[in-house]
Structure 1
Amino acid sequence: MIKRLILLFICFGIIEAAPAQKPSITLYGQASYYAAKFHGRRTASGDIFNHSKLTAACNSLPLNTRVRITNLRNGRSVIAITNDRLHAKTSRLIDLTKTGAERLGFVKAGLTRVKVEILRENEVE
């Protein structure tokens, strides 16, 4: 399933291949952040959602995937773990906690264009 999804993304130019010495997948899309009403609710992974942590919701990646999210407007980045899913009909790539949105500098705007890079287990932050 993941291989088919990656192949589909490559065909449509959504994924950019990284240099040969550092195999990675990069996705580009729109990011937003969770509404306050979700604080304390259970996520798709079973975790309790907390706005002060660096977690994210994404439909394109497996749960518990470590990702580096970079705001393309200002270059700021954070590392988060996917632990939830977005609504099935959303066009957004990823939703962050309010802490993640603050660190990326888009709380006032509500949305921003981002680059999402999948990190390997042993990759240094």
Structure 2
Amino acid sequence: MICIKKIAALLLLVLLQSCASAPGSAKAFGPSAVVSTQQGKASYYGGRFHGRKTASGEVFNKNILTAAHRTLPFGTRVRVTNLKNDKSVVVRINDRGPYAKGRVIDVSEQAARQLKMKHDGVVKVKVERLK
């Protein structure tokens, strides 16, 4: 009886792991997972905000894949694509902003690195809300 429970638990663990995807993996979300799309300018924030509380109450970490958006609910995952070089990254909304005119999203420094936008600072992006 104990052996059957252990086997069932092991099978469940294997099943759950096979369904998991790498954090921030854009490939885990195909086109059918896109709920809505927005285009505009993105900037990034890091250094001086690192360690401060975000609007969601979470402590900001410039080294994880997060972003600030004016209206999307906290926890929403979005794919941000740099339209200059077609690089994309999936981030989680955990803050409010951006407050600069014409910008639609502020990404963390880590997300900016993956989007290859740190040198430019502000780039045109496509933001796709994911299921």
TM-score range relative to shorter protein: 0.7 to 0.9
Matched to 2:122, the amino acid is L
User: 2:43 is paired with a residue of what secondary structure?
Assistant: strand
5+ residue gaps, structure 1, are: 1-18, 121-125
Structure number with higher helix proportion: 2
C-alpha displacement of 1:87: 5.0
TM-superposition CA deviations, 1:47-97 (whole Å, max 9, x none): 100010000000031221100000001000000000000155643100011
Structure 1, 103-112 or 85-94: larger mean CA deviation: 85-94
Instruction: Name the TM-score, length of structure 2 as normaliser.
Output: 0.71
1:113 aligns with 2:118: no
The residue aligned with 2:39 is: 28
Matched to 1:112, the amino acid is V
- In the TM superposition, structure 1's runs of 4+ consecutive aligned residues that sit over 4 Å from their partners are none
Q: How many residues align?
A: 101
Instruction: Name the TM-score, length of structure 1 as normaliser.
Output: 0.74
The residue aligned with 1:91 is: 102
C-alpha displacement of 1:35: 4.2
TM-superposition CA deviations, 1:19-62 (whole Å, max 9, x none): 8x666200001000014110000001111000100000000312
Q: Aligned pair in 2 of structure 1 residues 32, 23: CA closer, same or farther (>3 Å)? A: closer
The residue aligned with 1:101 is: 112
2:64 equivalent among 53, 59, 83: 53
CA distance in 2, matches of 1:40, 1:22: 32
Q: Sequence identity of aligned pairs in percent?
A: 47
The residue aligned with 1:74 is: 85
